[in-house]
């Protein structure tokens, strides 16, 4: 009979979250890298490209760190997820970075809960004047932060 102790549960939780982060980080990196032909059109595109590669590489590294139980791996993972919680468009600037874009709350004059099939969402650049201000809160990164932050140890 297999018994799951709180330590084993935390270990398994970290492994699963680490694997998820490693996969989304690698796929995000590949999707950004696949757009290399667009990079040399402007300095802004180049900066957005490099920033995207670094952000998704950071997510992949935090997942790798969790999988291998590196020191401070949970802190890296929480930071990587925190960067993915909020997306906004305001003043012709869009910050959109998430490897967990399945489910989000959209604030765009009203509040809408939306889902999409695409897990990877990225754009950090200027957008058209026609794009209205919006705020997105991605729910999967919030869930992962909560799972990482709480060990399940109760102080009773």
- Give residue limits of the domains in the chain: 6-149
SS3 96: strand
pLDDT of residue 1: 60
Contact between 66 and 15 under an 8 Å Cβ cutoff? The reply is: yes
Beta-carbon contacts of 20 under 8 Å, excluding residues fewer than 6 positions away, are 63, 144
pLDDT of residue 2: 65
Q: Cα separation of 39 and 47, whole Å? A: 8
Of the candidates 141, 128, 124, 100, the one whose C-alpha atom is nearest the C-alpha of residue 50 is 124
Rg (CA), the chain: 17
Q: pLDDT (tens digit, 0 to 9) for every residue of the chain, 156 residues total? A: 666 677 777 778 999 999 999 999 999 999 999 988 888 888 888 999 999 999 999 999 999 999 999 999 999 999 999 999 999 999 889 999 999 888 999 998 899 999 988 888 999 988 888 888 999 999 999 999 999 998 754 443
pLDDT of residue 108: 87
Q: Cα separation of 4 and 21, whole Å? A: 24
Contact between 124 and 90 under an 8 Å Cβ cutoff? The reply is: no
């Amino acid at each position: 009979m297999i018994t799951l102790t709180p330590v084993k549960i935390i270990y398994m939780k970290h492994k699963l979250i680490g694997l998820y982060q490693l996969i989304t980080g690698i796929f995000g990196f590949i999707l950004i890298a696949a757009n290399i032909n667009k990079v040399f059109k402007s300095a802004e595109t180049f900066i957005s490209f490099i920033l995207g590669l670094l952000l998704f590489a950071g997510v992949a590294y935090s997942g790798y760190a969790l999988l291998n139980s590196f020191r401070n791996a949970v802190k890296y993972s929480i930071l990587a997820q925190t960067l993915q919680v909020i997306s906004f468009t305001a003043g012709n600037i869009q910050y959109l970075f998430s490897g967990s874009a399945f489910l989000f709350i959209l604030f765009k004059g009203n509040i809408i809960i939306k889902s999409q099939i695409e897990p990877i969402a990225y754009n950090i650049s200027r957008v058209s004047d026609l794009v209205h201000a919006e705020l997105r809160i991605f729910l999967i990164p919030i869930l992962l932060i909560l799972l990482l932050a709480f060990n399940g140890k109760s102080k009773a």
